[in-house]
Amino acid sequence: MRRIQTSVDDAEAIKKEIQAIATEKYKGKRKWKLEIPLIIDRLGLRHSYRNKTISARTREIRQQNITQFYSELDEMGFVLPSIYSLKPRHIQALFSKWEAAGLSAATLQSRHSVLNLLCRWMGKPIVQSLPSYLENPLAGQRTYIAQEDKSWTVAGVIPEELIGKAMELDKYVGHQLLLIREFGLRRKEAICFRPHICFDRDNQVVQVYQGTKGGRYRVLPVRTESQRAALEACSKLAKRHSDHIGDPDRTLEQNLRRFQYVLEQLGATRNKLGITAHGLRHEYANTRYEDLTGEKSPLRGGSPEVFAYEETKAARRKIAEELGHSRLRVTTAYYGSSRESTTKRKLQNVAKTIAREYQSTSQLERHIGLIERCLTAGLGAAGTVLALREVGVEVTEIELDTWVASLKSAQQTQV
């Protein structure tokens, strides 16, 4: 993909303009507090590589992230007077801190992307590849394949009951959840849904075009009676022809916040019931996979061989389109992959082999050596954890670094 570049001359001119305004209006030492919104206004309104503008929410998130970066540097003792004072050592310090804090690969990748974008705006191409900043390069590797089924029913939640409770708290949010369950919509798509316009009764299809990710338009078939019942209920809620099913007295942003608030009141969070609204999309994807293929998805114990069939690929492509995705690979985040099953079996087999071969005289040496051997063999954190279990050590991937540090410390004490 072609990145939209800021020329050196443009970057220098914008730098002088921003610093002049900041110097005039801000008398403190940390002028980056004023410079960040200024550079966002000048250069942060466009997509990083597509020729289009970005949403106000994306701009807000960019500004929050960049502000957080400089605030964290400040807390670490790097008092930078300007955003343009950023140097490679500061970037290294940030990633070292984030890796030590155990941030997920997705978060590390997102922050790396924002830092890279900021440096391009400033005309300072100083950001290196993500692995080069990490002590463990595997910490920045993200998997798009689902490791667990996030559907509501798997978590022991009956969708009809929880949606019914949502209806009692807020009829608008209740109907939005109903659409998400029946059609796999995103929450913003559900809020913006206009039943009188989007539902084509003659052709029995639903058009989704507002609130979509990347403005991607799609058409969904109305296949079941429960879908028709949901559409009829939404049509009754929207009084006028052009009404959506968000609260008309609230803005889109307020409706989005209200949606989240109602879910929190119902306990529909990862910390309480172990679910989120997005879990209904997972429910839709897994159920639709079974409808189209006659087999359970790999995540629910389905056949890996069937998953690889050409007929199954056609079904997966259809599900991807219905969910609003253009890439087939993305949908493995909903129902797993045959490749994941194979990879996991390989990890288990190699981990068992290494563990059984390893017979050191000291239990302490055995564990440290086993970890080093696993990492050298390319098993990564997941494979190392499996190998440790083979010798009776129960440890999570997050705890692995702490475990290694404590063992090495004990070994040094013995010496």
Q: What would the pLDDT profile of 58-86 be if each residue is shown by its tens digit?
A: 888 889 999 999 999 999 999 899 999 99
Could you give phi then psi for residue 46, rounded to 5 degrees?
A: -110, 155
- Domain span at 244: 159-273
E strands in 151-243: 199-200, 205-208, 218-221
Domain annotation covers residue 364: yes
- Residue 290 and residue 351 in one domain: no
**Of all residues in the chain, what percent carry a pLDDT higher than 70?**
81
Where does a domain end: 251, 273, 295?
273
Q: How sure is the predictor about 51, in pLDDT bands with cuts at 50, 70 and 90?
A: low
- Residue 324 and residue 353 in one domain: no
**Of all residues in the chain, what percent carry a pLDDT higher than 90?**
42
pLDDT of residue 142: 62
- Residue 14 and residue 120 in one domain: yes
- Residue 169 and residue 200 in one domain: yes
Domain annotation covers residue 175: yes
- Residue 133 and residue 36 in one domain: yes
Residue 163 pLDDT greater than 90, yes or no: yes
- Residue 19 and residue 114 in one domain: yes
- Residue 254 and residue 372 in one domain: no
Three-class SS state of 400: helix
Give the integer Cα–Cα distance in Å for 146 and 280. Answer: 15
Domain annotation covers residue 151: no
Q: How sure is the predictor about 403, in pLDDT bands with cuts at 50, 70 and 90?
A: low
- Residue 12 and residue 109 in one domain: yes
Domain annotation covers residue 130: yes
- Residue 205 and residue 109 in one domain: no
187 to each of 87, 135, 256, 278, how far by Cα in Å? Answer: 40, 38, 8, 8
Residue 363 pLDDT greater than 70, yes or no: no
- Residue 197 and residue 231 in one domain: yes
- Residue 107 and residue 207 in one domain: no
Domain annotation covers residue 149: no
Domain annotation covers residue 23: yes
DSSP H or E segment with residue 354: helix 338-357
Task: Say how many domains are in the chain.
Answer: 4
Domain annotation covers residue 75: yes
Where does a domain end: 273, 306, 326?
273
- Residue 33 and residue 53 in one domain: yes
State the pTM of this model: 0.60
Which of 53-57, 269-273, 356-360 shows the lowest mean pLDDT across its residues?
356-360
Where does a domain end: 252, 273, 294?
273
Report which of 268, 104, 80, 98 is spatially closest to residue 170, judged by C-alpha positions.
Answer: 268
Domain annotation covers residue 1: no
Give the integer Cα–Cα distance in Å for 35 and 25. Answer: 10
Give the integer Cα–Cα distance in Å for 166 and 26. Answer: 48
Averaged pLDDT, 173-200? 96
